[in-house]
Amino acid sequence: MIDFHSHILPGIDDGARNTDMALEMLKGAYADGIDTVVSTSHIYIDDESDIDKFIERRKRAYTVLLEAMSKDGGEFPKIRLGCEVHLKPYIGNYDSVQKLAIDGTNYILLEMPYSSWSQDHYEAVYNIGVMGLRPIMAHIERFLRYRSEFHHLKALDPIFQVNADAFLHKAMRKELLQMFYDGYVHLLGSDMHNLKERSNHLKEAYGIIEERFGTSFSEHIKKNALLVLDNKSIEKRCKFPKLGFFDKLKL
């Protein structure tokens, strides 16, 4: 499994507080069958110079983590560096935002604002795409109150990532099923921040998807994850079997 959203670098954001926590988070992920973790530390850009500052901080934290992993001698997933870019309208004008793509790819994880979306936000996503980057919209299930506006975002042809935790909540599953059918679920991430209230539930989520939604749903997402890390285009549409009335009751 590939985890497309995590906060495992120590001391760089509101994720792993220290190296020991980061090691435990990674060990837990590996034990659950996760072979690759995309590290997506938060970045909030007020000025273009913040991008290089962030990359330097990320490099230091990553070096510390790699040294600790080597010293520990345990088994860990591979780490691919990326970040979670809080979308502000002006960042689409910064050429250096290309440095924030997931390592070895043109894919970049963007977090929409929790306040209202404006035309400027859509233009920022568009401009980032014009640069040759391929936007991935983070934890899109958190923005269901904007479902009436999703079609504007979808017109920009981004990829949509959903957090694993969403599948653990029975009340959310019918919404998630409709999101599958509407083309708003392409990748899955744990969004893990720590070992307790925001831990990794990716294995559990895939189990629920296979049991409740069917293996074609889970295989579609897993295949997309591999395609992204290979910097290839994903399959946005897949012919999922329609669930019957009684199947939906069991969600």
- Hey, is 63 helix, strand or coil? helix
DSSP 152-196: HHHTT--EEEEEGGGGG-GGGHHHHHHHHHTT---EEE--B-SSS
32-85 pLDDT tens trace: 999 999 999 999 999 999 999 999 999 999 999 999 999 999 999 999 999 999
The closest of 148, 94, 91 to 121, measured between CA atoms, is: 91
| Residue 222: how many other CB atoms lie within 10 Å | 17
Residue 235: predicted pLDDT:
81
Residue 244: predicted pLDDT:
65
Give alpha helix (H) positions in 98-144: 119-130
- The structure's pTM equals 0.94
pLDDT at residue 250 greater than cutoff 80 = no
Please say whether the beta carbons of 166 and 144 come within 8 A.
no
- What tokens were used for 240? 């999922």
174-198 pLDDT tens trace: 888 888 888 888 999 999 999 998 9
Q: Which residue has the tokens 């970045």?
A: 43
| Residue 182: how many other CB atoms lie within 10 Å | 13
What domains lie within the chain, and their CATH numbers? 2-249 (3.20.20.140)
